[in-house]
Structure 1
Amino acid sequence: MSLLSDLLEHMPPTIAGTDSPKVASRTDRPRLVLVERPVQLPASTYTNAANATPEWRQARNQYINHVMACPSCYAPTGRHCASGADLRASYDRTPMESPR
C-alpha cells in the first residue's frame, strides 16, 4: 500500500447531504476602519549632521575632503600630514551644537 492510501483509510467517510458549518456573512463581521492621525515628528534629543551648526559642517567637510584626496593622510589609523592634522584639530574643536 502507498502512503496516500494509508492516510485515506483513517479519514471518516463524507456523507452526502450534510450541511457545511455556517460561515459568518459579511454583515455579521466587525468592520475595520482606518483612522488617520496627524503625523507628529518626535523632538530630537540628539544632535546629528542634519541639525548641526553650519560651522561644524564646514569644518567636517574641509577635513573629509582633504583626507579623501591626500595620499599622506590615513584617518583610520590617525595618520595625517601637517595640513590634515590642522584640519582635524579644527574639526574636533568646533562645537556640533549651538549653545542655548
Structure 2
Amino acid sequence: MSLLSGLLDHIPPAVTGTDSPKVDSRPRPRLVLANRAEFPPQFVAGPHASAATASPEWRHARDQYLNHIMVCRSCYAPTGRHCTAGAHLRDSYDNTPMEARP
C-alpha cells in the first residue's frame, strides 16, 4: 500500500449514477447601460506646472533657497525653522510667481 491510499481510506467512495444539478437553459439577462453617464469636471486642468515650465525667476529663487537649506545647520525646513537668511530666501521663493507674466 502506498502512503496516498492510506490517506484516502477515511474518505467515502464517490456515488456514481447521481444526477448533476439542473442547468437552466434559458439565456441569462444582460445588463446594458442605457445612457452614458456624464459627470461635470471636478477641476479645470490647465497646463501642467513644473520646474521645467516655470519662470526663470522662480527657478532662481528655488535654487537659492534649496542651496542654502542644504548647508545651513540652523535651518530645518520640515518644521519651518530658518535662520534670518533662510527666512528671507524662503519668503522670496514663496512670493515669486511660478508662471511667467504675460
Structure 1 residue 99: Cα displacement: 2.3
Identity %: 60
Count matched residues: 61
Task: State the match for 1:82 in structure 2.
Answer: 84
Structure 1 residue 98: Cα displacement: 1.1
Question: Which runs of no fewer than 5 residues in structure 1 stay unpaired?
Answer: 4-43
CA distance in 2, matches of 1:82, 1:61: 17
Task: State the match for 1:62 in structure 2.
Answer: 64
TM-score, length-normalised on structure 2? 0.54
Structure 1 residue 2: Cα displacement: 6.1
Structure 1 residue 76: Cα displacement: 0.4
Tell me which amino acid in the other structure corresponds to 2:49: T
Listed as ranges, the matches of 1:85-96 within 5 Å are 85-96=87-98
SS at match of 1:50: coil
Q: Calculate the aligned-residue CA RMSD, in Å.
A: 1.8
Q: Whose helix proportion is higher, 1 or 2?
A: 1
CA distance in 1, matches of 2:101, 2:48: 14
Asked if residue 98 in structure 1 is aligned to residue 100 in structure 2, the reply is yes
Deviating runs (4+, > 6 A) in structure 1?
A: none
Asked if residue 52 in structure 1 is aligned to residue 54 in structure 2, the reply is yes
